[in-house]
């Protein structure tokens, strides 16, 4: 039972981390600079908020329901994939920022 609660706490924390990354200024700037659809990002944030409520309920139900427990296990894998994707986007954003800073420095030196 304690393992189930710890696993559920991991998922809740992971979803919160995803929401924090999506709301970060760096991520917002990256989305804008890449001319990606900002309204889809807003929809994703709204979906994650609703999802958090479902996740909280599922964490309680997994103790007595093996199907819910399996769903949470599969969800954990999906969340890890999303975290990897957002980490890659963060890395790309930082790389672009560093390249721009270096280009500006070279231009200023010339």
Answer whether 27's CB lies under 8 Å from 19's CB: no
Question: What's the confidence (pLDDT) of residue 64?
Answer: 92
Question: What's the confidence (pLDDT) of residue 1?
Answer: 46
Answer whether 93's CB lies under 8 Å from 27's CB: yes
CA distance linking residue 72 with residue 28, whole number of Å: 29
Question: What's the confidence (pLDDT) of residue 8?
Answer: 59
pLDDT digits (tens, 9 = 90+) for 2-50: 454 555 567 878 888 888 888 888 888 888 887 878 788 888 888 888 8
pTM for this structure? 0.65
What's the farthest any 2 CA atoms get from each other in the chain?
A: 69
CA distance linking residue 96 with residue 51, whole number of Å: 32
Domain boundaries, the chain: 2-109
CA distance linking residue 46 with residue 23, whole number of Å: 11
């Amino acid at each position: 039972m304690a393992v189930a609660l710890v696993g559920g706490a991991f998922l809740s924390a992971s979803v919160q981390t995803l929401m924090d990354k999506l709301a970060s200024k760096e991520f917002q700037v990256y989305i804008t600079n890449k001319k990606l659809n900002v309204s889809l990002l807003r929809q994703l944030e709204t979906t994650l908020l609703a999802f958090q409520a479902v996740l909280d309920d599922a964490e309680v139900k997994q103790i007595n329901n093996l199907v819910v427990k399996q769903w949470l296990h599969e969800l954990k894998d999906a969340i890890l994939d999303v975290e990897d994707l957002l980490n890659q986007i963060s890395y790309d954003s930082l790389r672009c920022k560093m390249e721009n800073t270096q280009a500006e420095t070279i231009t200023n030196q010339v």
